[in-house]
Amino acid sequence: MNEANNKERIILGIDPGTAVMGYGLILEKGNKVELISLGVVKMEKIDDHMLKLQRIFEKTVALIDNYKPDCLAIEAPFYGKNIQVMLKLGRAQGMAIAAALSRNIDITEYAPRKIKQSITGNGSATKEQVAAMLQTLLKFKETPEFLDATDGLAVAVCHSFQRIPTSAGKSKKSYSGWETFVKDNSSRVKGTTK
């Protein structure tokens, strides 16, 4: 058995935002992934942008101190036409990154399209499609109040999928869709019957 298959690690995923920050934590055990927690940090009622940034930093540090993740996976700000929105999202992301750096945690950034592709097999998937796939994959029934929570969870799962080793000697395979992936990797998907 590959030594990497025996290791466990906790991954914190964050979808940064200045109104709502989504987060998800997963436990990776060899080739299996289990849900630890997911949720949101709400900031709509905070008027001062700097106070929002402070809350992002403090809540991220609290998540790290509470769950002791081995790494942070964070969604990169998407490119849009509104420069002010992009600047605010970049600052929000920077605060979460600074919080992880303050605790010496490894950080990996993923583009939104890469995250969606990793979870659903479609880089243009909707938030609802991503959430539904995560519910199937991680076997949870509760629908989070905010899709930002499942977006944060998706970043963590995406990061896990990048590292899960292929079987010894086999090269990585590309898949035409989620069903094909599940069929060929039933041991990696918790609770599948295929």
The binding site for Mg(2+) comprises 15, 75, 148
15 is catalytic: yes
Catalytic residue among 47, 58, 142, 148: 148
126: CB partners within 8 A, 6+ apart: none
Q: Is there a contact between 41 and 75 (Cβ–Cβ < 8 Å)?
A: no
106 catalytic per annotation: no
d(CA 20, CA 22): 6
Binding residues: 15, 75, 148
* Residue tagged active-site, from 47, 48, 75, 151: 75
Q: In terms of Cα–Cα distance, which of 1, 184, 23, 32 is closest to 92?
A: 23
Angle at 168 between CA 164 and CA 169, to 5 degrees: 120
Q: Is 8 one of the catalytic residues?
A: no
| Catalytic member of 15, 48, 106, 151 | 15
Order across the sheet with 71-75: list the strands: 32-42, 20-29, 8-15, 71-75, 106-110
Which H or E run includes 29? strand 20-29
Radius of gyration of the chain (CA): 17
Active site residues: 15, 75, 148
